[in-house]
Structure 1
Amino acid sequence: MSEAVTVDSTDGVLTITWNDPGRLNGLTGQMLVAATEAIEQAPAQTRVIVLRGAGRAFSTGARLDQPLSGTEPMEVSARLIRTIVGSPLPVVAAVQGAAAGYGCSVALAADITIAARSAYFLLPFVNVGLMPDGGTTATIAASIGRARASAMALLGERLPAADAAEAGLIHAAVPDDALADEVDRIVAQLSRGPGAAYRATKQAITAATLGHLDEALDREGDSQVALFQTDDFAEGVAAFLDKRAPGFTGR
């Protein structure tokens, strides 16, 4: 298990925590594999899965100080999303601070996403010359429609948690000091509930709303791998690391 991911299984609740608060839980491939395997290998008594981040942020997404190229990053990231969505167990995401980039993808792949009011959701991919991935071209459009999904993806602007809840992107935005209690309340309700009914319900809702998720992940993967090779991506990463505005050329 990666030290940057902690896993706790207590009273039927499997809690997976991004645990690199010093980097605002920036994600590596190793962290994604660790989370995926934790879900796949959940103890038999598990009733609910909780995803959370340590410290001030849920996750700021993939770390750009590490190379991104080839198909492996996309395969690893798609596997985690498929595992979250495909799990027969209810998955709850507890979001504080930033849920950005692939961190946003993970938060929105959960069945129930609850956020602190100070939290926000962000698809910043366009700001480094990439397109959204982690299934967000499907999950966000399924939740709030084409117009809002396009605005989030193309403008790369923050969506405050309260606006995300009002739009139907997440279940609820609650006062910051109430986040832990609200997550505990919902998890307790789910852990006492009818597991077989939950499994059937989740499968039916996923089929009705995300029946094209696999196609979306494959399409995102193919396109992102090509975008990794562009001048704009190289410029976007350089500008991000230099803390300056990028100068894109469209190539």
Structure 2
Amino acid sequence: MNPEQILVRERVGAVALLRLNIPARMNPLTLPLQQALRAALAELREDRSVRALLLTGTGKAFCVGADLGSMSPPENGSLGQQTADAMESLSNPLIEDLRTLPFPVVSAVNGACAGAGVGLALSADVVVAARSAYFYLPFMPRLGIVPDLGSTWFLERFVGRARALALSLLGDHLSAERAEQWGLIWSCVDDAQLPDAALALAQSLAALPAHAAQEMRAVYEAAGRQTLPQQLRYEAERQRELIDRPAFAEGVQAFLAKREPVFPGR
């Protein structure tokens, strides 16, 4: 597969757009697509003109997860070992790549989001979905395996263990509207509005201070593992450093002048 055919790359100002582009098969996470994604993310990480990323799918689906049709046992060894090796060397690093980018990431879920595609979508900082979209975890009820690519980590934190466990066991479709109500995603919009709404969201995030994504990810991940006194100390330590940075000075000046702040890029 040609990487340029399975992953469409675009730019709108400071926003980079990546589109999963295997629409006839509902954008499965083939090995070539994962490799193309990792290569694109590595390039964007080094491109200091990029200030936000928008990830979406082409066609009727965002991503339906693993490419089950291509999975076959190797001549020597087991299919399980082969799959775990691929996850550790390619799929899991892909999620870590997205979570550690030096700029905010938006997932625009344009349709079906199933299997490992759920972990891919939820790895973004902000998720917006079309009203017709849905989230589906077929792992256990259909295949006898556990959710992967971080799905369990995200779901437990975003919607709580009771809902995460029931979704994983029952395999019900979770509509975009219900996902918004549960707090799994930021917003649900009409299908025709999704491209413009997602881009506007990414452009707003691109205007943030250059360190916004990294700092906000870190502070909320710390909040999930620390006691309140520990988190209060953590917040004070971050303010100790951040208040002395140029972004804070620009924010104060803009506030006093009653104008929008203009923060420098990366």
Q: Which runs of 5+ in 2 are unaligned?
A: 73-78, 227-266
Cα 1:170–1:210 shift into 2, 3 Å: farther
Confirm or deny: 8 A CA contact 1:118 1:176 kept in the other structure. yes
Paired residue for 1:44, among 45, 48, 73? Answer: 48
- How big is the shift at 1:55? 0.8
Query: Is 1:59 aligned with 2:73?
Result: no
Query: Is 1:100 aligned with 2:114?
Result: yes
1-structure distance, mates of 2:86, 2:137: 17
Query: Is 1:157 aligned with 2:176?
Result: no
What's 1:31 paired with?
33
Confirm or deny: 8 A CA contact 1:107 1:113 kept in the other structure. yes
Q: Which runs of 5+ in 1 are unaligned?
A: 212-251
State the superposition RMSD in angstroms: 1.7
1-structure distance, mates of 2:11, 2:192: 24
- Give SS of 1:58's match: strand
Confirm or deny: 8 A CA contact 2:135 2:176 kept in the other structure. yes
Partner deviation per Cα, 1:204-231 (whole Å, 9 max, x = no partner):
22343489xxxxxxxxxxxxxxxxxxxx
Alignment map for 1:64-213 (pairs within 5 Å): 64-67=68-71, 69=79, 70=82, 71-75=84-88, 76-126=90-140, 127-209=142-224
1-structure distance, mates of 2:112, 2:212: 33
2-structure distance, mates of 1:192, 1:67: 43
Cα 1:107–1:128 shift into 2, 3 Å: same
Q: Mean alpha-carbon deviation: is it higher for 17-26 or for 5-14?
A: 5-14
- How big is the shift at 1:122? 0.7
TM-score (norm 1): 0.79
Cα 1:210–1:86 shift into 2, 3 Å: farther
2-structure distance, mates of 1:210, 1:23: 39
- How big is the shift at 1:26? 1.3
Cα 1:92–1:41 shift into 2, 3 Å: same
Confirm or deny: 8 A CA contact 1:19 1:25 kept in the other structure. yes
Structure showing greater Rg: 2
Partner deviation per Cα, 1:115-172 (whole Å, 9 max, x = no partner):
0111000111111121100011111101000000001111111100000010000001
1-structure distance, mates of 2:8, 2:189: 25
Q: Mean alpha-carbon deviation: is it higher for 7-16 or for 39-48?
A: 7-16
Cα 1:193–1:147 shift into 2, 3 Å: same
- How big is the shift at 1:97? 1.3
1-structure distance, mates of 2:223, 2:62: 28
